[in-house]
Structure 1
Amino acid sequence: MEHINWGMIGCGNVTEKKSGPAFSKVPHSSLVAVMGRDAQKAADYAQRHGVPKWYNDVDELINDPDVNAIYIATPPNVHLEYAAKAMKAGKAVYVEKPMALSADECEQMNQISRETGVPLFVAYYRRQLPYFLKLKELVDQKAIGDIRLVKVQIHYNPYSEEIGDGAQPRWRVDPAISGGGHFHDLASHQFDLLEYIFGPIASGKGISRNQAGLYQADDIVVASFEFESGVLGTGSWCYTLNPEQRLDESEFIGSKGKITFSFFERFTIRVETAEGTETFEIPYPEHVQQPLIETIVQQLRGEGTCPSTGETGARANLLMDQIVQS
């Protein structure tokens, strides 16, 4: 492809700044059509972002002859359906994370990609953010020696922040729509990045519970996991704590020191060794998905390779399934 003309399915919050504008800022790439089930919302998005066409029918967007690549920015419950339609129509697919409702659905998507020869990419954009590339560089350069242990912690209450008192829970905590709860939404980013840095996770197990009874999905998960390299990991995800207890802090513990960082909240990386403490402040770019989208465009043009594919993206779903089912 000389120029990538994107059609976007979904006009939700993730598309306003994180992803949508980036498609037209990457060289040789343009967002040419958007689709939303709410026609008024789709038209408004197109007008505000300077997108030439809008639809409220997914088939019309996928079959638009001007569109040669599809971005699926919807909840996970329709990822398989829409990705299958797009790939069978010969359109490359970039799908939001988590990749699907389950590892089984991810495999179905990858099988269609293999059968059609149409590439499939997943929005695990941390694989290209400078903050996390620096983290990977520190590990690769053995800044803290050989890694022994990975600790992941994220504790807060998105229920009170997102929906307020008296409102109904949002789709992220409806397993029929999201595949799980906030663990499924956020831990997918974490496990994907950990595999990018350390290689495959051989196995994981855990305990998931609903303690507060605010919605159907689990609201606390604890887990242990082991990388094929022998590095061990632990994690805790709790979503019903007071705001004062909010915590997003993870650690890589090595034979010569420790790296402390945040997956979502802050832009500081702290490296502690016997020689002292060094910090790196690396903010996110304006559109966090833009660096990854650039690699997708490069691959579609035959000029590079994207590090986040359907095959790598499915791994996070597989591990989360192992943990919550155990």
Structure 2
Amino acid sequence: MTHLRWGILGASKFARDQMGPALNAARRGKLVALATSSADKAVPFDAFATGITVYDSYEALITSPNVDAVYIPLPNHLHVEWASKAMDAGKHVLVEKPLAMHASEFDQVIAKRDATGLLAAEAYMIVHHPQWLRAKALYEAGAIGKLVRVSGAFSYDNSADVSNIRHDPSKGGGAIPDIGVYIYGAARFVTGEEPDEILSTDIRRENGVDVWSHVTARFPSFHYTGVVSMRMAPWQEMVFHGEKGVMRLSAPFNANLYGEARIELQTQGDDGPEVQAIRYPADNHYVHQVEAFNGSVLDGVAYPCPLEFSKGTQNMIDMVWAKDNAEARL
């Protein structure tokens, strides 16, 4: 096998606008199939994946001998089910985040991955972007000294889009499942640490889903604070504040959509603050992610972001829910 033949379960907007083009543009892979019951929704995919085969059911796609790997952008509550079915059919799977609603649900997918020898991964694309790889390397090299504080923020406003699936609690909606995975997982990725304790939660809900939250946590060597919201002006950043410097990442989660991805490193020189700006104007983390996946399957090398890492982020989310529930009972 010289390249991976990809299929997509469902013609979602994100699959159409971001991951579909990435699957087709990534080296050593090609988008060849789409499962959707709507012929109209399939039309835009043919514009960048000419000749794509359209199946009218998910089952037909995952059992096709012409598909090697499946990308799953279905509603959150369907991820584990269809990842398992795809692996049962012999397909490698890349599943949108969050892969599961609870950390324990990862175990089923991990066990099936190990039993089948197939690659299964959550589509946590940021760790494949050179902005994040450099940030981790700078931190590990001591560029900001001993870490004291990490803060993260990610927001958008979808209040007018009342039919948005993120507003449906039965389908795993909410801001924390949707974008909390980024600001929680990013802190874990750079530092290699896991939270000891969730110190506080302030969560506002509408119709059963969280739309705004402020969370603080204690990690072994630093304090963490994070805000995510579906009711604020679009914004995203991560800040790592140490005793000798500050590292700020702009557009850390949607590079080139929220602006240019940059690392701003501020340290104290003999004559005052010194600021270094490291720019990433062109990298596409979705393409990098798919290329990493293709390489892992075709070359038999370890995937850079295994399910065990993704389970750790979900475990932090579970800790947030548990803390919030405990505070609500007081």
- Same structural fold, with TM-score higher than 0.5 when normalized by the shorter chain: yes
Whether 1:240 and 2:228 are equivalent positions in the alignment is no
Structure 1 residues 41 and 169, CA, compared in 2 at 3 Å: closer, same or farther?
A: closer
Specify whether residues 277 and 27 from structure 1 end up closer, same or farther in structure 2 by C-alpha distance, changes over 3 A only: closer
Could you tell me how far 1:169 is from its partner in structure 2? 4.0
Contact map agreement 1:95 1:122 (CA 8 A) in 2: yes
| 1:187 and 2:184 matched | no
Per-residue deviation, 1:93: 0.7
Query: Distance in 1 between the 2:130 and 2:32 partners?
Result: 28
Shift of 1:197: 1.2
Alpha-carbon offset, residue 224 of structure 1: 2.2
Contact 2:45 2:52 in 1 (8 A): no
Distance 1:138 1:174, change over 3 A: same
* TM-aligned CA deviation for residue 204 of structure 1: 4.1
Is 1:251 aligned with 2:219?
no
The yes-or-no answer on 1:174 pairing with 2:162 is no
Give the structure with the higher percent strand: 2
1:156 CA displacement? 4.6
The structure 1 residue matched to 2:209, chosen from 214, 217, 222, is 217
- What root-mean-square deviation, in Å, do the aligned CA atoms of Structure 1 and Structure 2 show? 2.2
Contact kept, 8 Å, 1:201 with 1:226, in 2: the verdict is: no
**C-alpha distance 17-295 of structure 1, shift in aligned 2 (>3 A):** same
1:35 maps to what in 2? 35
Number of the residue aligned with 2:278? 280
1:10-67 alpha-carbon deviations (Å, 9 max, x no partner): 2222223422122232232111111124243135523553143011200100000011
8 Å contact 2:165–2:173 — kept in the other structure? Answer: no
Query: Unaligned stretches of 5+ in structure 2?
Result: 324-330
Distance 1:312 1:274, change over 3 A: same
* Contact kept in structure 1, 2:31 and 2:49, CA below 8 Å: no
Q: State the identity %.
A: 26
- Shift in Å at residue 116 of structure 1? 2.4
Task: Name whichever of 267-276 and 251-260 sits farther off.
Answer: 267-276
Letter of the 2:147 counterpart: I
Residue aligned with 1:314, SS = helix
Deviation string for 1:69-117 (max 9, x for gaps)?
Answer: 1111222111111101111111111111111222232222222222322
Write out aligned runs for 1:109-188 (5 A): 109-160=109-160, 163=161, 168-177=162-171, 179-188=172-181
Aligned AA for 2:264?
Answer: R
Q: TM-score, normalised by structure 2?
A: 0.86
Give the structure 1 partner of residue 326 of structure 2: none
261-270 or 24-33: which moved more?
Answer: 261-270
Q: How does 1:46-125 map to 2 (within 5 A)?
A: 46=46, 49-125=49-125
Q: 1:140-165 CA deviation, whole Å, 9 max, x = no partner?
A: 222111212111123553324xx2xx
Per-residue deviation, 1:310:
1.9
User: Which one of 293, 298, 302 corresponds to residue 296 of structure 1?
Assistant: 293
Runs of 4+ in 1 over 4 A off after TM superposition: none
1:249-299 alpha-carbon deviations (Å, 9 max, x no partner): 3311111011122334342322111121222222353x4311111111111
Work out the CA distance in 1 between the residues paired with 2:48 and 2:2.
Answer: 27
Structure 1 CA distance for aligned equivalents of residues 322 and 39 of structure 2: 39
Hey, what's the Cα distance between the residues in 2 that align with 1:88 and 1:103? 21
Distance 1:39 1:105, change over 3 A: farther
SS of 1:110's partner is helix
Note the residue ranges of structure 1 that are not aligned, 5 or more in a row.
none
Higher relative contact order (CA 8 A, sep 6+): 1
Which letter maps to 1:254? Answer: G
Checking the alignment, whether the CA contact within 8 Å between 1:221 and 1:238 is kept in structure 2 is: yes
In structure 2, give the amino acid aligned to 1:306: Y
Equivalent in the alignment of 1:315:
312
Counterpart residue identity of residue 113, structure 2: S
Counterpart residue type for residue 11 of structure 2: C
How far apart are the structure 2 equivalents of 1:137 and 1:45? 37
Match of 1:197 in 2: 190
- The one-letter amino acid of 2:278's match is F
Deviations 1:182-215 (A, max 9, x none): 122111122222222111313342424335x4x3
